[in-house]
């Protein structure tokens, strides 16, 4: 299998990451509708910065994301911006969540970000697919 490399003006790269977000207190609030909503906001906020979603899946209390990135992005700042904005929007547009997370942020303060470490992307993609529902 030949892997197509990404490039910009002065470099060639292939940067894949596996990101896991957990709902605050592991509340079981994520369904398909909320997951799709969160994915749309992830794409809207981060795609212009050079992050491309490859795979997205969820369980009731967390979300798995496989994404590709450019090397000159500040990932921690971008991720925290997404968490803050999406938390505000999801609580605004899904009022039923407020009963579980009244004044709290939607996401846990922590997250897990892993490089794929050279593992074949199809292997990572299958793992993330298996984590949903």
**pLDDT tens column, 76-118:** 999 999 999 999 999 999 988 877 776 778 999 999 999 977 6
pLDDT in the model for residue 7: 80
- Residue 119 confidence (pLDDT) above 80: no
- Residue 47 confidence (pLDDT) above 60: yes
Higher pLDDT, 3 or 19: 19
pLDDT in the model for residue 80: 95
**pTM for this structure?**
0.85
Domain residue limits, the chain = 13-131
Closest alpha carbon to 23 in 99, 86, 105 = 105
Higher pLDDT, 19 or 2: 19
pLDDT in the model for residue 21: 97
CA dist 85 → 19, 55, 82, 91 (Å): 17, 21, 5, 10
- Residue 61 confidence (pLDDT) above 50: yes
Superfamily of domain 13-131 in CATH is Transposase IS200-like (3.30.70.1290)
- Torsion 53-79-92-98 (CA) sign: positive
Burial class (CB in 10 A: 0-12, 13-18, 19+), 106: buried
pLDDT in the model for residue 98: 78
Closest alpha carbon to 124 in 55, 50, 53, 33 = 55
Exposure string of 42-57, with b = 16+ CB inside 10 Å and e = fewer, is beebbeebbbeeebbb
Cα of first residue to Cα of last residue in the chain, in angstroms, is 30
């Amino acid at each position: 299998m030949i892997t197509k490399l990404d490039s910009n003006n002065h470099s060639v790269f292939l940067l894949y990451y596996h990101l896991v977000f957990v709902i605050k207190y592991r509340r079981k609030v994520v369904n398909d509708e909320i997951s799709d909503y969160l994915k749309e906001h992830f794409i809207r906020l981060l795609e212009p910065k050079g992050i491309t979603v490859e795979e997205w899946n969820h369980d009731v209390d967390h979300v798995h994301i496989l994404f590709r990135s450019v090397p000159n992005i500040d990932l921690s700042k971008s991720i925290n911006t997404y968490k803050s904005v999406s938390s505000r929007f999801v609580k605004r547009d899904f009022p039923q969540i407020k009963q579980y997370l009244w004044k709290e942020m939607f996401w846990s303060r922590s997250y897990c970000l892993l490089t794929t470490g050279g593992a074949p992307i199809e292997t990572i993609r299958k793992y993330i697919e298996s984590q949903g529902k």
